[in-house]
Structure 1
Amino acid sequence: MAIEAGNTRAVWIETFGGPEVVQVKALPVPAPASDEVVVRVAVASINPVDWKTAEGKYPPMGADKLPFVLGRDLAGTIETVGSESGEWAVGDRVCAFIGPDRGAQGERVVVRTSELAKVPDGVDIEVAGALPLAAMTAWQGLFDHGGLEAGQRVLIHGGAGGVGHLAVQFARWKGATVFATASERDLDFVRALGADTAIDYAKQRFEDIATDLDMVFDTQGGETQARSFPTLRKGGILVSTLEPDEKKAAEFGIRTVPRWHADPDAAELEQVLGLIADGQVRVEIAKRFPLDDIREAQRFAREEHPRGKVLLDLAE
């Protein structure tokens, strides 16, 4: 991918499509508004929303927004501060889950101060960069939307994935009884994260093992979601990152949450960072890719079903 002359590089799309539309482009170094900072990015995450956005399947980023930079979360150090940036200073180690109006997969990214979370001492910057979107999806799904409490029973689908492996740990930390589905190779990993019962989704019927549940956390949809309804007690809740089948839920007396997307929340993100600093939660890094290998990074994350998170390395 050829690079034009410029000051900073970023993952760029000018039209919707497959991996071929994703390029690395040189752009002017951004300047922060008064309540913003510019972060020199060390690492950014590769998330499913990236290729969905590139394909034109993420409604907030329609054709009227093209062209734009991809990516929603990052970690690095503050390089420039706005005039009203408050407590934030050049050199601070930070991470952020940013709004869809800006892209995180660039060497320098504008971040609103309201989105910033300080990376505690002892937390690696790559861990912080892998965390924001996946952590907020898991945290908000389990607690804000699902209301998970200690002593409840929860089934987490995809327990070894980027979102799932965090959801397993958050549910364990809360004091829930945790069931999690995973591939055979990941069963021990999911147990080590805190799952009370790890279920091989290829060889076992999860609905025969996880029963009388208070919650199902679903990132799979389709047949997996349909088979999940009978596992819930009457009045239980299915929280899905995909559109829930309201008719089927009603048949089983199950509550659902309308389709939702995780929102940036610096306070919640800092709480998760605190759990990592205390050793109560860990982030699994599957693989890191250099910026110029963005297409291969997306392919790997999409097709290889990696354990944990995939990162894009933007450090100079």
Structure 2
Amino acid sequence: MKAIQYKAFGNSDVIEVAEIPQPEISNENQVLIQVKAASVNPLDIKLRSGIMQQIRPVYLPFVPGADIAGIVVATGEKVTQFNAGDQVIAVTSAGGYAEYALVNESRVALKPANTSFEEATSLVVNIGTAQSVLFDEGKLTKGQKVLIQGAAGATGATMVQMAKNAGAYVIGTVSGQGIALVKSLGADEAIDYKLQDVTALVKAVDLVADCAGGESQNKLFKVLRPGGKLFSIVTPPSAELAEKYQIDARFISSNISANSLTCGLALVKEGKLRPIVAKTFSLEEAAQAQDFVLAGGVNGKVVLVVAQ
């Protein structure tokens, strides 16, 4: 089968299209999926660069890809929820940039019928991460105030919608065309961080969900109420500032499974959460796709179309 591999650590020129054996079911709980679409995530780029080797080592040659959408081809003997022909989405530890992928049943869910494969794969990591940050860890409830930094990005846009559906007051930091997008998703306020001072406009926030990182993260402590929470999916917040402002500040690493997608997928099926696909590339264009993500300023998800 055709797959994308990293032949070495480095820039996008280490990415190559390769012919490798199609995976075969070797575990009674596995599901074999013909991949129709795969998301391009910042994690794929970090793994390619080699900077994650101490905390998440990979061995070369490596097939990246953390979330996919496709059609079930075969199942292990103990798989009960899926059958050949089912259209599904799945979370993979690796191997998504390929024509076929093996996934444990616990990490597979039925694709919402009202989404394309490209839209469906764009939701997986976003929903799981939003669920972890906003609700599992953030305990966000109706009437609370949440600020989402990087609200027009793939995960941020999903957070906006899930927080709003939970009855929270939602503030998003964005720039340029992201302002109109975030407002269209239901945000109560959209602040252009390039033109406006967030700390002068926002106070007494219950939760900050940081999807952007960078130097601006330190400023976000000032917008929280004492006892509030600052959770980042990019870089660990300052422990010193957390103590100074009496804030629960942590880096959140999402452990995404089919169960973590339940609430978000229900919203998708009801038409209350819409996927945002910024751009699609073919599987063979994986290097260009990753460079596009790395350049920044992407509103929504970048997706590889693996098979028509």
Under a length normalisation based on structure 2, what TM-score does the superposition of the two structures give?
Answer: 0.96
Matched residue, 1:3: none
Partner SS for 1:91: coil
Counterparts of 1:68 and 1:184 in 2: how far apart (Å)?
Answer: 36
Partner SS for 1:222: coil
- Residue 57 (structure 1) aligned with residue 48 (structure 2): no
Gaps of 5+ in 1: 1-7
- Residue 23 (structure 1) aligned with residue 16 (structure 2): yes
Matched residue, 2:277: 285
- Residue 74 (structure 1) aligned with residue 87 (structure 2): no
Q: What is the aligned residue count?
A: 305
Equivalent of residue 153 in structure 2, options 161, 165, 173:
161
1:14–1:66 contact (8 Å) kept in structure 2: yes
- Residue 95 (structure 1) aligned with residue 89 (structure 2): yes
Counterparts of 1:98 and 1:212 in 2: how far apart (Å)?
Answer: 38
Provide, for residues 136-175 of structure 1, a one-character-per-residue CA deviation record: whole Å limited to 9, x for no partner. Answer: 1122111111111111111101111011000111110111
Alpha-carbon distance, 1:273 to partner: 1.6
Segment of structure 1 superposing worse, 120-129 or 194-203: 120-129
Counterparts of 1:312 and 1:145 in 2: how far apart (Å)?
Answer: 31
Partner SS for 1:274: helix
Alpha-carbon distance, 1:304 to partner: 4.3
AA matched with 2:64: L
1:113-128 → structure 2 map (5 Å cutoff):
113-128=105-120
Provide, for residues 227-266 of structure 1, a one-character-per-residue CA deviation record: whole Å limited to 9, x for no partner. Answer: 0001000000001112111111110111122x33211220
1:98–1:264 contact (8 Å) kept in structure 2: no
- Residue 9 (structure 1) aligned with residue 2 (structure 2): yes
Equivalent of residue 215 in structure 1, options 207, 219, 224:
207
Counterparts of 1:188 and 1:312 in 2: how far apart (Å)?
Answer: 26
Partner SS for 2:225: strand
- Residue 42 (structure 1) aligned with residue 36 (structure 2): yes
2:129–2:256 contact (8 Å) kept in structure 1: no
Matched residue, 2:77: 83
Equivalent of residue 243 in structure 1, options 233, 236, 255:
236
Partner SS for 1:133: helix
1:44–1:129 contact (8 Å) kept in structure 2: yes
Partner SS for 2:215: helix
2:23–2:101 contact (8 Å) kept in structure 1: yes
Alpha-carbon distance, 1:274 to partner: 1.6
Provide the alpha-carbon RMSD of the alignment: 1.3
Partner SS for 1:68: coil
Equivalent of residue 131 in structure 1, options 123, 133, 140:
123
AA matched with 2:240: K
1:286-301 → structure 2 map (5 Å cutoff):
286-301=278-293
Counterparts of 2:153 and 2:6 in 1: how far apart (Å)?
Answer: 26
Partner SS for 1:227: helix
Alpha-carbon distance, 1:213 to partner: 0.5
- Residue 182 (structure 1) aligned with residue 174 (structure 2): yes
Under a length normalisation based on structure 1, what TM-score does the superposition of the two structures give?
Answer: 0.93
1:137–1:163 contact (8 Å) kept in structure 2: yes
Counterparts of 1:127 and 1:273 in 2: how far apart (Å)?
Answer: 12
Gaps of 5+ in 2: none
